[in-house]
Amino acid sequence: MDKKIKVSIVGGSGYTGIELLRLLSLHPNVEILHITSRNDTGRFVCDIYPSLRGVLSHKFVNPDDIDLKDSNLVFFATPNGVAMKYAKNLIDNGIKVIDLAADFRIKNIKEWEKWYEMPHECPDIIEKAIYGLPEVNRNQIKNAQLVANPGCYPTAIQLALVPLLKEGLIDPLSIIADAKSGISGAGKKTQDGLLLSEASENFKAYSLSGHRHQPEIEENLSQNSKNGKVRVLFVPHLLPMVRGIHATIYANCIKDFDPSKIFNNFYDKEPFVDIMKANSCPETKSVRASNVCRISFYKVPNTQQLVILSVIDNLVKGAAGQALQNMNIMMGWQETLGLELIPLTP
């Protein structure tokens, strides 16, 4: 039996934080040390999230009042711009770091600074950060000390495209990603548009002229593209529901091929990617509360067009679950440990 490691969660009071706590509480090899929240310092975690009554007895602590270096691994479930203030010191002290925000997802610092509208505070360690998409970067993650956990949209979209781009089967400039996300993807923010009164029975696009996940998608896809730089027209939409991302992706084929064969070969041994039959339609509910990504596709007759459908739970495979998967890989544990989750239906 593996010895337990001590993990801390910085920024534990948001939706990604609470989901991390749900999953870590059930992980056999982990002891939760600190859970920080500046706003909720001193309050019991389970007073804010009664679902954790009887599960966790921690209080939220102020990150300034504790020493994160007591931990073996630190998760950052903070807003963008926080992890970059702590990461260097932690990894210099041998602590492993997984950032669930965007601070280390993009190697191009200028691009990052343009989209995130702040100077990057530790550009020197960006190169050390591994982009934590296990199905693509597993070997690098194994030895990583700093993992940039991918965004939710990028996870759903990249898993649908990497097998095709790697083989040079689709035109890398032809890609359209029409993506729809449950509202928890926007985080626990008190904005009018996220209120049930406004968001329920409603559907709309947003960030039409540019979303921060676009450069992340393009940079990382380009690294896996046989035919050069990838451009994605990415249009996100807000669904009147809590959990789930559905990406409907359109691309032009530049070769003749059987998508079924390509996808099944690529994901053959993957525990968390499920390739469905051609022309079938994956449902977000079929992956809710689990770490699974389900993918299907449709070759449009008499054209070069290919439609790929990809669904994940944005809080699990799109955030906390993938973070655990990365932790398992970094620690040399079985990759599915603590992630044997069955989607919740109905």
Catalytic option among 46, 122, 152, 253 = 152
Spatial separation of the C-alpha atoms in residues 52 and 19, rounded to whole Å: 11
Catalytic site residue 152? yes
Tell me the closest approach of the beta carbon of residue 322 to a second copy, in angstroms: 17
Spatial separation of the C-alpha atoms in residues 7 and 19, rounded to whole Å: 15
Residue with tokens 């495979």: 317
Choosing from 29, 294, 325, 339, the residue that interacts with a second copy (CB under 8 A) is: 294
Tell me the closest approach of the beta carbon of residue 79 to a second copy, in angstroms: 16
Spatial separation of the C-alpha atoms in residues 182 and 62, rounded to whole Å: 30
Verify binding: residue 198, a second copy, rule CB under 8 A: yes
Residue nearer to a second copy on the CB measure, 44 or 257: 44
Residues from 7 through 66 that contact a second copy (CB under 8 A): 15, 18, 22, 25-26, 49-55
Verify binding: residue 166, a second copy, rule CB under 8 A: no
Tell me the closest approach of the beta carbon of residue 243 to a second copy, in angstroms: 7
Spatial separation of the C-alpha atoms in residues 20 and 339, rounded to whole Å: 11
Q: Are 53 and 76 in contact (CB under 8 A)?
A: no
Verify binding: residue 199, a second copy, rule CB under 8 A: yes
Verify binding: residue 228, a second copy, rule CB under 8 A: no
Single out the segment in contact with a second copy by CB under 8 A; choices: 82-90, 140-148, 200-208, 324-332.
200-208
Q: Are 56 and 78 in contact (CB under 8 A)?
A: no
Residue type, 267: Y
Rounded to 5 degrees, φ, ψ at 248 are: -105, 115
Single out the segment in contact with a second copy by CB under 8 A; choices: 58-66, 94-102, 220-228, 237-245.
237-245
Verify binding: residue 171, a second copy, rule CB under 8 A: no
Verify binding: residue 309, a second copy, rule CB under 8 A: yes
**Beta-carbon count within 10 A of 30 CB:** 23
Q: Which residues, listed in sequence order, are joined to residue 307 by a DSSP beta bridge?
A: 250, 298
Residues designated as active site? 152
